[in-house]
Amino acid sequence: MTGLDRFRDAFLKPELIERYLPDILSGIAVTLQIAVAVVVTGLALGLALAVVRSYGYRLVNAPVIVFVDVFRALPPLVVILIVYFGLPNLGVNIPSFAVLWLVLSLVLAAFAEEIFWSGLISVRKGQWDAARSTGLSHWQALISVVLPQAIRICVPPLTNRTIAVTKNTALGTVIGVGEIMNQGTSAMSLSGNATPLMMAAIAYVAIFVPVVALGSWIERRFAWKKA
Amino acid sequence: MSSLLEVRGLRKSFGGTEILRGIDFSVAAQELVFVIGPSGSGKSTMLRCCNRLEEPTAGHVFVDGVDLMAPSTDINAMRRRIGMVFQAFNLYPHMTALGNVTLALRKVLGKPREEAEAIALAALDRVGLKEKAGNYPSELSGGQQQRVAIARALSLEPKIMLFDEPTSALDPELVGAVLGVMRDLKAAGMTMVVVSHEMRFARDAADRIVFMADGQIVEQGTPAEVFGNPQHPRAREFVAELSR
């Protein structure tokens, strides 16, 4: 047995690939569904919170800031475990995939709020002045003038953070969500071989490389001729 | 003459510092009033209170008889009657010159696109930039940007226009065209309040000079009076500095 054969049998054993491919594929389907759901709700909630914060009502902003800081500080795994194992004691039973979606959405929302917010405040105050001086409301100035400029600045950090948070769908494995990581680790335990984990790794690359490409496409789309 | 803009007992504090310490003045229809004074005297703050971009701490601002400070006043509806031009132009960088002018026409006045564009092109034509309608601000010189900004304010048919140091950010050779547009506006009967250091323009275009120092109006009169025979020590000092 050559070194190359040993490597192949340890990480990419053909018969194991064949045996566990359906499991990994179903894991991909679950991961994709949760990832898309997390991106949609997380970014939407993050943007909504940043917009609310732009109105500058102190009583509203205080809880927003507390939420953002707490969820940026907590490891997502801790929150997932607390929600999944804690809430049933209060009679609240949330299915594991929903827990994963909910927690990761909140984490992404917290980071996204902060990114959108820093984008909003990086737009020069004169832009607000000009828009408001022509009679535009706060909302109209935000939507037509400030947000288009802010989002353009936000796209790169937002792409990075979105990928970082959605990769955390792998944490679903600890509460039994049948996503890629869960399928990979159970197959690894059954087979005693790292091949299913390699398959999982390849699956993650296949999912997230296009997301990175999408991010840079959006960056180009939002660019305009700079002064 | 009825006054189009009337400011009464205007005060503004930032933190504990009082920037405006009781301002009273009025501007008649078709009048061009120049506000001058040393930096830090509150000129820009006073101007920004005239459309409530800056919230006065006390006092009243009436535009065309409407109290801007009254809770019942729709400030957005009033603001489109009060054109404002800024030192830094503040054009929207993600929109063409045409887009900059049509935005408020469409969003505030609810004009359909075609009508808004026709109005915007006419306004750009007034400032001599009709052919730049499709250009982005970054493709325009400072003077052209400022003229687009004037067209943006003008397109809403304001009753009065406020100019906040409109030429201070411009290279000297670009100032002339902007002042030329302001001269045209004056000739067309626009009521204007101008905070500026363009003393030559003030001398030959202004109807009245208002001199501010330390958050108060300490002297006002015709250009001949204020520049030729200033009464207040601060005004005398300022004019002496100018003619040096």
Reported as a single tens digit per residue, the pLDDT across A143-190 is: 999 999 998 889 889 988 999 988 999 999 999 999 999 999 999 999
User: Is residue A220 over pLDDT 90?
Assistant: no
User: Given A127, A132, A149, which is nearest B79 (Cβ)?
Assistant: A132
Q: Specify the residue for token string 């970054």.
A: B138
Distances (CA, A) of A216 to A113, A204, A206, B236: 20, 19, 17, 61
- The token duo for A36 is 């898309």
User: Given A135, A149, A226, which is nearest B80 (Cβ)?
Assistant: A135
Helix H or strand E encompassing B17 = strand B17-28
Distances (CA, A) of A101 to A36, A40, A178, A183: 10, 11, 13, 18
Mutation target among B52, B68, B87, B107 for the A interface, most CBs of A within 10 A: B107
Q: What percent of chain A has pLDDT over 70?
A: 98
Residues near A181 by Cβ (< 8 Å), separated by ≥ 6?
A27, A169, A170, A171, A172, A173, A200
Residue among B209, B137, B151 at smallest CA distance from B182: B151
Mutation target among A134, A151, A226 for the B interface, most CBs of B within 10 A: A134
CB contact under 8 A, B90 and A124: yes
CA B122 to chain centre: 21
Residues in chain A: 227
Is the CB of residue B139 less than 8 Å away from at least one CB of chain A?
A: yes
| Per-residue pLDDT, B239 | 87
Q: How many CB pairs under 8 A join A and B?
A: 76
| Per-residue pLDDT, B1 | 47
Residue among B123, B44, B122, B127 at smallest CA distance from B86: B44
| Average pLDDT score, chain A | 92
- The token duo for B136 is 């982005």
Architecture of domain A17-222: Orthogonal Bundle (1.10)
Mutation target among B48, B50, B53, B161 for the A interface, most CBs of A within 10 A: B53
User: Is residue A224 over pLDDT 80?
Assistant: no
User: Given B48, B80, B136, which is nearest A134 (Cβ)?
Assistant: B80
Residues near A45 by Cβ (< 8 Å), separated by ≥ 6?
A105, A106, A109, A112, A113
Most confident of A11-15, A87-91, B134-138: B134-138
> Domain ranges in chain A?
17-222
| Per-residue pLDDT, A95 | 93
Reported as a single tens digit per residue, the pLDDT across A21-68 is: 999 999 999 999 999 999 999 999 999 999 999 999 999 999 999 999
CB contact under 8 A, B92 and A131: yes
User: Is residue A216 over pLDDT 90?
Assistant: no
CB contact under 8 A, A130 and B138: no
Which amino acid is it at A98? A
Number of Cβ atoms within 10 Å of the Cβ of A94: 15
Residue B32 gets which letter from DSSP?
Answer: E
Rounded CA separation B123/B167 (Å) = 20
User: Is residue A72 over pLDDT 50?
Assistant: yes
Residues near B188 by Cβ (< 8 Å), separated by ≥ 6?
none
Number of Cβ atoms within 10 Å of the Cβ of B1: 9
| Per-residue pLDDT, B97 | 97
User: Given B88, B91, B104, which is nearest A136 (Cβ)?
Assistant: B104
Rounded CA separation B133/B145 (Å) = 11
Is the CB of residue B83 less than 8 Å away from at least one CB of chain A?
A: yes
| Per-residue pLDDT, B204 | 87
- Our CA-based measurement puts residue A127 at a distance from the nearest CA of chain B, in whole angstroms, of 6
Is the CB of residue B93 less than 8 Å away from at least one CB of chain A?
A: yes
| Per-residue pLDDT, A223 | 67
Using a 10 angstrom Cβ sphere, with 0-12 exposed, 13-18 middle and 19 or more buried, the burial of residue A88 is exposed
Residue among B230, B174, B180, B190 at smallest CA distance from B36: B230
Put simply, the chain A residues between 151 and 170 with a CB less than 8 A from any chain B CB are 152
DSSP letters, chain A, are: --HHHHHHHHH--HHHHHHHHHHHHHHHHHHHHHHHHHHHHHHHHHHHHHHHHHT--HHHHHHHHHHHHHHHHS-HHHHHHHHHHHGGGGT----HHHHHHHHHHHHHHHHHHHHHHHHHHHS-HHHHHHHHHTT--HHHHIIIIIHHHHHHHHHHHHHHHHHHHHHGGGGGGGGT--SHHHHHHHHHHHHTSSHHHHHHHHHHHHHHHHHHHHHHHHHHHH-----
- The token duo for B71 is 């809770």
User: Is residue A227 over pLDDT 50?
Assistant: no
Which amino acid is it at B180? G
Is the CB of residue B240 less than 8 Å away from at least one CB of chain A?
A: no
User: Is residue A1 over pLDDT 80?
Assistant: no
- Our CA-based measurement puts residue A146 at a distance from the nearest CA of chain B, in whole angstroms, of 9
- Going residue by residue through chain B, which has 244 residues, state the pLDDT in tens, using 9 for 90 and above: 479 999 999 999 998 899 999 999 999 999 999 999 998 899 999 999 999 999 999 999 999 999 999 999 999 999 999 999 999 999 999 999 999 999 999 999 999 999 999 999 999 999 999 999 999 999 999 999 999 999 999 999 999 999 999 999 999 899 999 999 999 999 999 999 999 988 889 998 999 999 999 999 999 999 999 999 999 999 999 988 877 7
| Per-residue pLDDT, A99 | 96
User: Given B48, B76, B136, which is nearest A137 (Cβ)?
Assistant: B76
Residues near A27 by Cβ (< 8 Å), separated by ≥ 6?
A178, A179, A180, A181, A182, A183, A184, A200, A203
Is the CB of residue A223 less than 8 Å away from at least one CB of chain B?
A: no
Residue B55 gets which letter from DSSP?
Answer: -
Confidence of residue A214 (pLDDT cuts 50, 70, 90): confident
pTM of the predicted structure, to 2 decimals: 0.88
Rounded CA separation B83/B116 (Å) = 17
